[in-house]
Structure 1
Amino acid sequence: MSIEINYRQLQKEELSEIIPLMQKFTDNKHTDGLLTERFTEMFEQNYECIGVFNDQILIGICGLWFSTRHYSGRSVEVDHVYIDEDYRSKGIGKQFFKWIYDYAKGKGYEAVELNTYVQNHPSHKFYYNEGFNILGYHFVKKI
């Protein structure tokens, strides 16, 4: 398998390409309609969706949320990082995060944050190896 990786910001008009990867990421926990509704709203906020491509084939995505926080300054929160299973363990995640760091720095941001699910142990190892530290717990309450 020849791998030629490139990255670009995806647009709202490309939701039909984003939703299938999000279905894999969420194990089909949400309908296509609900994901389309949520992503449509997200695109109207301080959100960017970045695609990872092998040549012209979308093989991964992540969201970037841009904000200023009292404890970290201008930061980007990396959200829903997903690389298709056929492309894992090939160094693509490490390359992708280098791209994210450079992209955020180029926009004037000074910190990268993320959340990961407690049971996602492979991601914990990856993020530790990337130099991330655990700062706290993320709590959610549906109202």
Structure 2
Amino acid sequence: MQNIEIKIIPTKNILCILPLLKELNSTTNETVLEKRLLEMTTQNYKCVGMYLNNKLIGISGLWFLTRHYCGKTVEPDHVIISSKYRNKGLGKVLLNWIYNYVQSIGYEASELNTYIENIKSHKFYEDEGYKKLGYHYLKIF
């Protein structure tokens, strides 16, 4: 696809990802999503945007941390390609950009979570070379 540009979304523009984020998370109230996104930007979080002719069609949050078992790692989070642009190889393009970017700033690994019911994503990530290491548990207080 021509005219694709991938870049870090400036913190001041982070709320532009809400329409895509809602494609993945339709159950959380938009006001809550806004508040959480703004708070995330104060932590070790950045967001990458994929643009087609200056239109945002894909995103991936990036969490940066160091783990004792793999070193400096990035966690792609809420990786989303707009539904009308899926199955065109754009997810692979986005992840390759992320891999190149994080390696250029000294990161050694990438790890992620995906929803159990999102079977298509499991195959996609396994094809990308990710290995299943365990289960992700969540307890909300």
Q: Tell me the CA shift for residue 52 of structure 1.
A: 0.7
- One-letter amino acid of the counterpart of residue 104, structure 1: V
**Corresponding residue for 2:42?**
44
**Corresponding residue for 2:74?**
76
Q: Tell me the CA shift for residue 86 of structure 1.
A: 0.9
Match runs of 1:119-138 below 5 Å: 119-138=117-136
**Corresponding residue for 1:98?**
96
Q: Secondary structure at the match of 1:134?
A: coil
Q: Secondary structure at the match of 1:114?
A: coil
Q: Distance in 2 between matches of 1:23 and 1:128?
A: 25
Q: Tell me the CA shift for residue 82 of structure 1.
A: 0.4
**Corresponding residue for 1:18?**
17
Give ranges in structure 1 of 5+ residues lacking alignment. Answer: none
Give ranges in structure 2 of 5+ residues lacking alignment. Answer: none
| Offset from partner CA, 1:58-112 (integer Å, 9 cap, x none) | 0011100000000110000110000001111111011111111101101100000
Question: Cα–Cα, structure 1 residues 46 and 16, in superposed 2: closer, same or farther, change >3 Å?
Answer: closer
State the percentage of identical aligned residues: 45
Q: Distance in 2 between matches of 1:16 and 1:77?
A: 20
Q: Distance in 1 between matches of 2:123 and 2:49?
A: 23
**Corresponding residue for 2:62?**
64
Q: Distance in 2 between matches of 1:53 and 1:41?
A: 24
Q: Distance in 2 between matches of 1:15 and 1:104?
A: 20
Give the TM-score normalised by structure 2.
0.96
Q: Distance in 1 between matches of 2:24 and 2:13?
A: 17
Question: Do structure 1's residue 87 and structure 2's residue 85 form an aligned pair?
Answer: yes
**Which piece of structure 1 moves more, 101-110 or 8-17?**
8-17
Q: Distance in 1 between matches of 2:19 and 2:69?
A: 35
**Corresponding residue for 1:53?**
51
Number of residue equivalences: 141
**Corresponding residue for 1:5?**
4
Deviating beyond 4 angstroms after TM superposition, the runs of 4 or more aligned structure 1 residues are none
